[in-house]
A and B are shown apart, each in its own frame.
Chain A
């Protein structure tokens, strides 16, 4: 086995570019999945089954099929329908949509964990529906689910390399580009592998601190 430190230092500029794209995709994808997941969770609580069933079926479908194929679908089919986004935007939408079906369940569990007494108190105080949700239920529910959401952010980080297949130059995309230009596969791939371990480890430490702060 040969290890060439020069290749590592040559790869570094591209690595930072890739890291930036990966983090962009991660942050935007997380925001979409947090927002959309909450929308799904709330829709699943509407009294009408004509809302609940379609939402349930669609989210179940998205959750049980590979993100990779969903990305292909978005990337190749949307332009056929006349909708064109940049590759990164498509990827962010794909990741956000896929993970919203997971965060939806997290929110659902969080909402169900709010004690019944809180609902009853809101009724007793004659709060409107909107006030009940925004002032009583959601603040308590969301506080509880932050650690679980954080775990999905870490999972999402590990799914961002898939964006490579739709021509986004994230960390893995840059590593592949570099290895094709220089015929050195070992160094760039190992560097980004280690980078993923380090980033997700740091993220999990951060998450543990946050968890101690929020959940008591």
Chain B
């Protein structure tokens, strides 16, 4: 491979990372808003949040991306910049999976903690912010770590709509060289390295957050399977 082609690949890596960071940020916001809304005391709020997760988890991420890229501009006249369209589609889809993680972790906090908050006459928002979230967030990190790797894998989907991410660059290089084994092996390796770094990063974050609430991180042996229906292949 020539240096020009490597430059193309690096540009693809940069786009992939940008997309990953932006959609992860949007995904986290969506997860927390929707996940907390699912514990709201009003039934209508709970219903709407549940409806959102069902719809976005029910449909395929790729179909969602096609919809945002091709239907939104025609049907509503909203033509988004490619990067933002990709961020929107991925963030909303993976946010729906994240919402389930947030809801699960919140409901796993010992009920006595919540009762203690009520007894001390904390407002619901204070209970959430000062009691529930600090204990629930460290528990969310391992499933979120799995979801982040799924999101990384999901970013490859935007290449189909012509956005210049790593997979797209890989396809261009294949066309230029008329030879596919080498470039696809490199592309797969790069994705693997990014996924590995993300997992490490999340493990460090978990240790730090657990230390904050006075828990030692559990020793994990091999990678654990994610909670059922959250970990795998959510795209």
Chain A residues near B (Cβ < 8 Å):
1-2, 56, 60-61, 64-70, 72-73, 76-77, 80-81, 98-99, 102, 105-106, 108-109, 147-148, 151-152, 154-162, 164-165, 172, 175-176, 179, 185-186, 189-190, 192-193, 196-198, 200-201
Instruction: Tell me the complex Cα distance, A80–B182, Å.
Output: 11
Chain B residues near A (Cβ < 8 Å):
54-55, 57-64, 66-67, 70-71, 74-76, 149, 152-157, 159-160, 167, 170-171, 174, 179-181, 184-185, 187-188, 191-192, 195-196, 222-225, 228-229, 231-235
Query: Of the candidates A98, A106, A201, which one forms a contact with B225 in the assembled complex, judged by CB atoms under 8 Å apart?
Result: A106
Let me know if A77 and B184 touch, CB within 8 A: yes
Least CB separation from B67: chain A residue: A189
Q: A66-B155, A77-B181, A154-B229 are in contact. List 12 more A-B contacts (CB 8 A).
A: A1-B75, A64-B149, A77-B184, A80-B181, A148-B225, A155-B229, A155-B233, A158-B235, A159-B62, A172-B66, A193-B63, A197-B54
Let me know if A66 and B71 touch, CB within 8 A: no
Query: Of the candidates A60, A67, A189, which one forms a contact with B153 in the assembled complex, judged by CB atoms under 8 Å apart?
Result: A67
Query: Of the candidates A56, A73, A152, which one forms a contact with B184 in the assembled complex, judged by CB atoms under 8 Å apart?
Result: A73
Let me know if B195 and A64 touch, CB within 8 A: yes
- Is the contact region of chain B dominated by helix, strand, or loop, or is it mixed? helix
Taking CB atoms, residues of chain B closer than 8 Å to A158 are: 59-61, 233-235
Taking CB atoms, residues of chain B closer than 8 Å to A186 are: 71, 74-75
Instruction: Tell me the complex Cα distance, A189–B8, Å.
Output: 32
Let me know if A69 and B191 touch, CB within 8 A: yes
Least CB separation from A95: chain B residue: B233
The 6 tightest CB contacts between A and B, nearest first, are A197-B58, A105-B225, A66-B156, A76-B180, A64-B195, A155-B233
- Is the contact region of chain A dominated by helix, strand, or loop, or is it mixed? helix
Let me know if B160 and A165 touch, CB within 8 A: yes
Let me know if B195 and A68 touch, CB within 8 A: no
Taking CB atoms, residues of chain B closer than 8 Å to A147 are: 228
Some 12 contacts from A to B, beta carbons below 8 A apart, are: A64-B196, A65-B192, A66-B191, A105-B225, A108-B225, A152-B232, A172-B62, A193-B63, A196-B58, A196-B59, A201-B54, A201-B58
Query: Of the candidates B66, B76, B187, which one forms a contact with A189 in the assembled complex, judged by CB atoms under 8 Å apart?
Result: B66
Instruction: Tell me the complex Cα distance, A76–B177, Å.
Output: 13
Let me know if A172 and B232 touch, CB within 8 A: no
Taking CB atoms, residues of chain A closer than 8 Å to B157 are: 66, 68, 162
Instruction: Given the known inter-chain contacts A102-B233, A151-B228, A155-B233, please indicate yes or no for A76 contacting B174, CB distance below 8 A.
Output: yes
Instruction: Given the known inter-chain contacts A56-B222, A76-B174, A200-B58, please indicate yes or no for A69 contacting B184, CB distance below 8 A.
Output: yes
Let me know if B170 and A161 touch, CB within 8 A: no
Query: Separation in Å of the A30 CB from the closest CB of chain B?
Result: 12
Let me know if A77 and B180 touch, CB within 8 A: yes
Instruction: Tell me the complex Cα distance, A81–B182, Å.
Output: 13
Let me know if B59 and A197 touch, CB within 8 A: yes
Let me know if A196 and B63 touch, CB within 8 A: yes
Taking CB atoms, residues of chain B closer than 8 Å to A77 are: 180-181, 184
Instruction: Given the known inter-chain contacts A65-B192, A66-B153, A68-B167, please indicate yes or no for A161 contacting B63, CB distance below 8 A.
Output: yes
Query: Separation in Å of the A52 CB from the closest CB of chain B?
Result: 10
Taking CB atoms, residues of chain A closer than 8 Å to B54 are: 197, 201
Instruction: Given the known inter-chain contacts A72-B170, A105-B225, A179-B70, please indicate yes or no for A67 contacting B233, CB distance below 8 A.
Output: yes
